[in-house]
Chains A and B, each alone.
Chain A
Amino acid sequence: MSDLLARYHGVILDGLLTTIALVGAGFLVGIALGALLAVPLSASAALPRALARAYVEVIRNTPFLIQAMLLFALFGVLRIRIEPAAVGAAAVAIYTAAYMAEILRGALHSIPTGQYDAARALGLPRHVRALRVIAPQLMPFVLPAGVNLLATVTKESAFLSAVSVAELTYSGQVVIAQTFRVFEVWAIVGLLYLALVLAVLGLAQRLERRLRWVVSTG
């Protein structure tokens, strides 16, 4: 295994970094899109709410691989030529947005209406109400769910190897094609994903502990 790593660590590292980059970028864009989507999703206007709901349900009830394949096919039909990793990141963003919107809708729903009324009664301007009153109360709900989502998305991103994105799983296939060391390569790739996901989950636990402290003492 050590000789394998000595020769091919560059390929595997490239794949790992691509996975981190495309999941990171896709997830961040997905959070932003999800926040935008959460507005009509929890609004009272029927048509925007129905459209947002339809988007969320379609994404949450179809496989990520099918979504990624469709996105690649769509880019092909429209003759848009961009790097596969960028399309992969877009697929991650589209996926994240739907789940994030649903998490945020649930969180907004859990805040007592008195909080909005009180903030308005104090005469706080709109952005102060949103950022300093509502957002901090969303955090204990959104943070654990969001981190779980990041872990899920990291694992789902392995499907992108099937649509020619040169991420970690794909680089595993590249190394196997050259070495035929099937078991060892998948074990190494698996351990790297495991480390990535456990790091994300561990970070979340620490953040959560801090947050609980802030909420209870602040």
Chain B
Amino acid sequence: MAEQVQVSGQSKGKLHKQWKTDLVGLAFIAPWLIGFLCFIIGPMIASLYFSFTNYDLLTEPTWIGLGNYIQMFTNDVRFIQALKVTLIFVFVSVPLKLAFALFVAMLFNTKRKGVGIYRTLYYIPSILGGSVAIAVVWKQLFGRDGAINDILSVFGIPSISWVTSPDFALSTLILLVVWQFGSPMLIFLAGLKAIPTELYEAAAVDGANPFHQFFKITLPMLSSVIFFNLVMQTIQGFMTFTQSFLITQGGPMDKTLFYAVYLYEKAFGHFDMGYASALAWVLLIICAIFTAFIFRSAGSWVHYESEGGK
């Protein structure tokens, strides 16, 4: 190893020492670095190249320039549909999920007894909700003969098949995702616990009602946590696959054709790898725009404490 090299002279020794540290550091991060180069950077460059080609995995890729992208935006109604469905899904499910998570977290931010058990109870759907089992069950739960219709019939609401109805299929999937609000809830809860109670006491003395306290103290103090949750949930939302694939297969009439499902269909159903790569790059750009937008706007609404900020 490099450690055996003789050292002579002060500056040379220092230089040598930095080299040694570099080697040690790189050795430690080597697993990630290899993965990063071979499985992230390499593939990204490759997929950018494929996105300009026609490639079916069996024959060599043929260069078609911007062909895939032009096709996508001018001549592919299903792409537009997938984009629309995914945007609606993200815009509805993310705010709903975060609002609900914050609401429940505020309920749990108390010294009352039993909160530990409640937290567990409310977190269980998040543990199981992403599984194939729950997807399979959801389909039956909201099916024509499922439990939901059984309950609704008590109130005289006629039975419909929620998962195969063009009007309700997407809402059913949104409900499934919002149901798994556990992780943002826990993050909000930790954030709420970090807000000094003196702030509320002082505000109460000054006559601020709970409504004011929420908007003037809770929200600003939580803004960095909201920011984190917003970024993570938005990206996750764009990537949602399993639920749509298993419950509705993108249907009925492409009403739940999520972007990831369409991409999967193109890549592994039709083996149109070039087109699918172009889809992947468009997704990346959309995610980047959204993230950049959230980051840029963060300056105006995310409040960091003077110490310990990011």
Q: Do A and B come from one complex?
A: no
Interface, chain B (partner A; CB < 8 A): none
Interface, chain A (partner B; CB < 8 A): none
